Amino acid sequence: MKTSFVLATAVGLASAFPGMAGINMKEEGMKMLKERHDAEQQEKRQLGDVLDGVGDLVGGLLDDVKGLLGSVASAVDPDNKRPEPGYEFQAPKKGDSRGPCPALNTLANHGYLPRDGYVSFDQILEATARGFNMGADLATVLGVFTTLTDANITEQSWYLGSSPEHLGGLNRHDTVEADISPNREDYYLGCGDNHHLSSRLFKQNVALAAQNPSKEFDFETMGNQFAMNADFSLKNNPFIYYFPFPSIVSVVAYNFYPQFFSNGTFGAGGVANYESISSILGAKLNKKTGEFQYVPERFPDNWYRRATPYGAVQALTEGFTGIYPYNPVPMPIPQIGTDNFSPQTLLCDIYNGINSITPLALGGALEQTGDTISWAVQKLIDVGLDATTLGCPKNSISPNFKLYPNKKQKGGPLRLPRSQYRWTGSNKYNRVYFTEAPTQPMCKHVSKP
Ligand code: HEM
Ligand SMILES: *[C@@H]1O[C@H](CO)[C@@H](O)[C@H](O)[C@H]1NC(C)=O
Ligand SMILES: *[C@@H]1O[C@H](CO)[C@@H](O)[C@H](O)[C@H]1NC(C)=O
């Protein structure tokens, strides 16, 4: 029911894009956030029940997984079968860079992106569309921020994990990579390991899917996963740094499970089933130990990508109406909780926030950032995300609002202690990570890389 509301709204919004005039989730979206807030106590109790249930269910992990098997899409378009001939799976070789994004790792393992994991902005745009049907505006927003914060700006290229010197790449914390991820631990709680699949988190995710009548990794399952992960991080992570851009990414990553990893188009006959999700995530159940081993990500056999592009407006709308209300973690986005909150104001924030990420650019590149900011703004304009098209109100950003406030605070993106250094390298596969929840920012409970 929640899902159908979200989809109906989102489809309406998406088809109105790029005009966007009058688009506002003020009415329905805000009402929903408020109802959610009012129902918080009630919700907490329900979440408590869910948690208790999960405790039991994890014990019966094998049964859970069995209960999730066998659902297939009721409608798929043969043209959308992936991988296409010539894009066969190959496990990454030593030295190939892989990191926190399961989708980009999958694309590299199938040769849609360079197999060594050093990728350019243009390659990302093409590969995410071809492999998963990500809309150009959404891929541009992600790619622009990544280029500015995690990339070699001269080459407009970055590592999917980290560079050989552990510098930048998608593993870099709090630039695009964020806390409260669906199936990765927080940077500090994981002792710098924010990029390997966490066995205990995926066990929780499987248990939530198993007790959902749909048996799918749909919005309800992923919303509950978000609620539980957010509770955990708020309780245990003293360095939680939930600031606008990366936090927006971490919220919408939850909708990416149903919307991108489904077999076929989610909501139009597609299913977010265990077969698809576990394969693209690289989660392989060890039936003896009951833990998930992290193996190289791959497209499942007989898998069909979504048939229509999934773009920025729909992603933001669904993230902030379908996932975030399950546990509205405070975020310094000034419009949250006001009538001005909408996907449009978020996009305006993102657009206007480009300037405030300048100090986050990777070392050595500062002299180029003036040019690079112009490059970034032009990329956003190219896909219709400019202030005029968006109709950004001049006062959409409060005078004190910066996209990365307190970036030098302990735990912020410019103040990462070195103790985690050895855990920040690119992915190592065929191991199990995090059988237990890391409840303190310490390294001794994390096995050595
Ligand atoms: C367009 C360029 C992209 C960039 C730069 C990018 C980057 C990232 C980064 C930095 C993370 C870590 C976020 C976190 O800490 O929560 C991430 C996670 C994720 N990304 Fe991507 N991504 C891109 C495209 C995609 C696409 C096309 C998909 C889906 C088809 C996708 C699906 C996901 C999911 C589901 C996660 C969460 C993983 C988890 O913790 O379970 N991404 N991505
Ligand atoms: C996807 O759905 C199609 C059509 O029902 C089915 O043949 C195929 O086995 C499914 N694949 C996966 C990975 O679920
Ligand atoms: C970035 O690329 C340029 C041009 O290829 C190269 O000269 C420079 O060393 C690279 N910077 C880093 C930090 O790798």
DSSP output for 345-361 = HHHHHHHHHGGGGGGGS
Pocket test for ligand 3, best of 97, 121, 152 (most atoms within 8 A of CB): 152
Residues pairing with 40 in the sheet = none
* C-alpha of residue 399 to centroid of ligand 1, in Å: 31
Q: Whose CA is nearest to atom 11 of ligand 3?
A: 152
The CATH number of the domain covering residues in 38-447? 1.10.489.10
Tell me the per-residue pLDDT of 231-241, one tens digit each, with 9 for 90 and over.
999 999 988 88
How many Å apart are CA 32 and CA 251, to the nearest integer?
A: 17
More confident call, 335 vs 202: 202
Q: Which ligand is nearest to the CA of 169?
A: 1
How many Å apart are CA 276 and CA 106, to the nearest integer?
A: 12
More confident call, 88 vs 403: 88
Question: Which residue blocks in 262-336 are alpha helix, DSSP H?
Answer: 274-281, 312-318
Contact 13, 313 (CB under 8 A): yes
Question: DSSP state, 173?
Answer: B
> Which residues, other chains included, contact 443 with Cβ-Cβ below 8 Å and sequence gap of 6+?
191, 192, 419, 420, 423
3-state SS, residue 279: helix
| Ligand 2 in reach of 72 Cβ (< 6 A) | yes
Nearest atom in ligand 1 to 145's CA: 5
Q: Exposed/middle/buried for 195, CB within 10 Å: 0-12, 13-18, 19+?
A: buried
Contact 420, 440 (CB under 8 A): no
Residues pairing with 283 in the sheet = 294
* Per-residue pLDDT at 2 exceeds 70: no
Closest by Cα among 183, 210, 221 to 57: 210
* Per-residue pLDDT at 7 exceeds 70: no
Q: What is the mean pLDDT of residues 434-444?
A: 85
Query: Looking at 15-29, 76-90, 107-121, 124-138, which range is the least confident one?
Result: 15-29
Nearest atom in ligand 3 to 155's CA: 2
Q: What is the mean pLDDT of residues 165-171?
A: 90
Q: What is the pLDDT of residue 17?
A: 34
Q: Exposed/middle/buried for 62, CB within 10 Å: 0-12, 13-18, 19+?
A: exposed
Nearest atom in ligand 2 to 301's CA: 13
How many Å apart are CA 205 and CA 61, to the nearest integer?
A: 11
| Ligand 3 in reach of 405 Cβ (< 6 A) | no
| Ligand 2 in reach of 302 Cβ (< 6 A) | yes
| Ligand 1 in reach of 50 Cβ (< 6 A) | no
Identify the sign of the CA torsion 448, 194, 226, 281: negative
Cβ neighbours of 120 (radius 10 Å): 18
| Ligand 1 in reach of 177 Cβ (< 6 A) | yes
| Ligand 3 in reach of 152 Cβ (< 6 A) | yes
| Ligand 1 in reach of 250 Cβ (< 6 A) | yes
Pocket test for ligand 3, best of 154, 157, 165, 172 (most atoms within 8 A of CB): 154
Compute the radius of gyration of the chain from its Cα atoms: 20
* C-alpha of residue 288 to centroid of ligand 1, in Å: 30
Q: What is the mean pLDDT of residues 82-100?
A: 98
The band of 207, judged by pLDDT with boundaries at 50, 70 and 90, is very high
Q: Whose CA is nearest to atom 4 of ligand 1?
A: 142
Q: Whose CA is nearest to atom 7 of ligand 3?
A: 154
* C-alpha of residue 302 to centroid of ligand 2, in Å: 5
Of the chain, the end-to-end C-alpha distance in Å amounts to 44
How many Å apart are CA 87 and CA 395, to the nearest integer?
A: 48
* C-alpha of residue 30 to centroid of ligand 1, in Å: 26
How many Å apart are CA 217 and CA 205, to the nearest integer?
A: 8
**Helical packing angle, 199-210 and 219-236, nearest 10°:** 140
* C-alpha of residue 154 to centroid of ligand 3, in Å: 7
Residues pairing with 263 in the sheet = 271
Query: Looking at 292-296, 302-306, 408-412, which range is the least confident one?
Result: 408-412
Contact 235, 44 (CB under 8 A): no
Q: Amino acid letter at 124?
A: I
Between the ranges 19-28, 59-68, 153-162, where is the mean pLDDT highest? 153-162
Q: What is the mean pLDDT of residues 408-413?
A: 79
Q: Which ligand is nearest to the CA of 364?
A: 3
Closest by Cα among 85, 89, 260 to 182: 260
> Which residues, other chains included, contact 427 with Cβ-Cβ below 8 Å and sequence gap of 6+?
92, 98, 99, 105, 161, 195, 196, 294
Domain locations along the chain: 38-447
Q: Which ligand is nearest to the CA of 82?
A: 2
> Which residues, other chains included, contact 442 with Cβ-Cβ below 8 Å and sequence gap of 6+?
191
Query: Looking at 327-341, 390-404, 407-421, which range is the least confident one?
Result: 390-404
| Ligand 3 in reach of 155 Cβ (< 6 A) | yes
* Per-residue pLDDT at 312 exceeds 50: yes
Query: Looking at 23-27, 91-95, 174-178, which range is the least confident one?
Result: 23-27
Query: Looking at 76-90, 144-158, 300-314, which range is the least confident one?
Result: 144-158
How many Å apart are CA 29 and CA 52, to the nearest integer?
A: 30
